[in-house]
Structure 1
């Protein structure tokens, strides 16, 4: 069954046949990817963790398809599942590394967040600026900032030659966005991306 047929089955099916088909087709390849390339050999219960990550990725896929957030694939379905599982693993790693902060000891916010109509104006302005960038930059920035994919995956999904090319294009897109806001570009020392 093709990826498009599986996606349509997830979207249209009242039963879970499409979920079972995706599970059977992509479980083992995704587990090999996670155990072989993502989860380090010294990690305890690697296989169990890989199964858990794949299951979470499958749940996210189904939720995104059924909610309408994912209507068409820009990459193969296995690439999507691998990327989601990898991001879930990274999120788990960040959560395990983060110190437990005492909220009473955190500093006050430096800038008061906008509220009401002011927040709506800011949101509309951001949407307008993003539309001005064009679809290629919008996709690149969304994959990096919202989906939090790594450069190799972004390059593969969006058809860049390699990870370095995707990263260079992201820098150009951000420079264009900064110019549209009248902000000077950052120096090399303070730009982490």
Structure 2
């Protein structure tokens, strides 16, 4: 009788262990494959910098919404493309996959990884120096998306900003050609 109970317990433990092993293998496969941009298309990109020197502030967003790529950005630019305040502003302009080809090539070369968890700040500490930089690439839908980032060198930051600036000029020209 005791050997039947021990066999039943062993079988029960095996059945309980199988889902755990499957979940662990799926998680391991997901984390190994998430740096491969060829396996899944990115759905949003955010690049921004806040700085005490306003001329060094910029904000770029590209995201997929309703099966359409949308682009918005704000940065300080030269007089030929900027408004009265020397700001280049653009919101919710559609871009095509062809427009994003140069950006996709750049992203393919980056070693993307999960961002480090944010450290909680003490509630009474104020950050007077507002110099911050963030670069995130999102994958998946809004409900179940995850983000990846890469540590960009100064040259990579400049190259990425130039790519996004060229995209801005193309989209802005398109907006001026097709007023709403």
TM-score tier, shorter chain, comes to under 0.3
TM-score (norm 1): 0.25
Q: Which has the higher helix share?
A: 1
- Which has more radius of gyration? 2
Q: Which has the higher strand share?
A: 2
Q: Which one scores higher on RCO, CA 8 angstroms, separation ≥ 6?
A: 2
